[in-house]
Amino acid sequence: MKQFSTDRISFVSSGTPEADAAAAALRSRYGEVGFDNAEVVVGLGGDGLMLQTLHRVMDRNVPVYGMNFGTVGFLMNEYAADRLVERLRAAKATDIHPLTMAVRNTAGERHEALALNEVSLFRASYQAIKLEISVDGQPRLDELICDGVLVATPAGSTAYNLSAHGPILPIDAPLLALTPISPFRPRRWRGAILNNRAVVTFRAREVDKRPVSAVADNVEFHNVVEVVVREGREHRATLLFDPGTSLEERVLTEQFRY
């Protein structure tokens, strides 16, 4: 990543009164060049705001430094108004690559979206869904009956993937997590850890009776019949963390929580 200018900062807020007030104070103190002209973006909010902002700067070589005004703040730094420029200059950069989701629906329409955390398939009715799963064109599971299934990046492995009892992946590991959500059959299948070059294909069965939705972070498509997921190495987003609180350290620490 090229060296960015701390003279060209843009501030974005999650929209809560506290975050808006902090953003206004920081703009008054450090200036504001506008989002499209920024060389670094400072986000004030929670992890949801961070994901939205990273999607907005994707492939622009503009890093994002978050300050927490949310609930968890796994992707954020602690808020402090003082010494912001010094913190930005000392921050550690972490590049993450998204997943590319390509879907085909019952009408034959095709759509694509990017996911920094995970691509998820969900049942869209009271009926469990039935999915065939292939990896690199080879069928691996003839039929998974479940509420859903997801593919997570290392950065997303501590989010919904962890809640679904999936594995935590080191942030720099060339891996993806394939994790079922409330599997019914095969009941004992707990998912798989895949190489990040793997191409995962899901094909839905009995879609008239068991409709399926597919979600890439916060972009959702309905009535899907096929979903193809791969890592999009051609895309990149960059997060900034204070020294000693890098994303690598946070992921490692998460593995020792109980």
Distance of CA 147 to the CA centre of its chain: 20
Alpha carbon distances (Å) from 242 to 15, 82, 218, 232: 24, 14, 27, 27
Select which of 7, 20, 47, 95 is catalytic.
47
Distance CA 51, CA 115 (A): 9
Distance CA 26, CA 11 (A): 8
Is 47 designated active site? Answer: yes
Name the burial class of residue 132, with classes exposed (0-12), middle (13-18) and buried (19+) by CB atoms within 10 angstroms of its CB: middle
Distance CA 127, CA 123 (A): 7
HEC states along 201-248? Answer: EEEEECCCCCCEEEEECCEEECCEEEEEEEECCCCCEEEEECCCCCHH
Q: Considering only CA atoms, which of 167, 132, 140 is closest in space to residue 152?
A: 167
- The alpha-carbon radius of gyration of the chain (Å, integer) is 20
Q: Considering only CA atoms, which of 224, 174, 168 is closest in space to residue 194?
A: 174
Q: Which of the residues are catalytic? A: 47
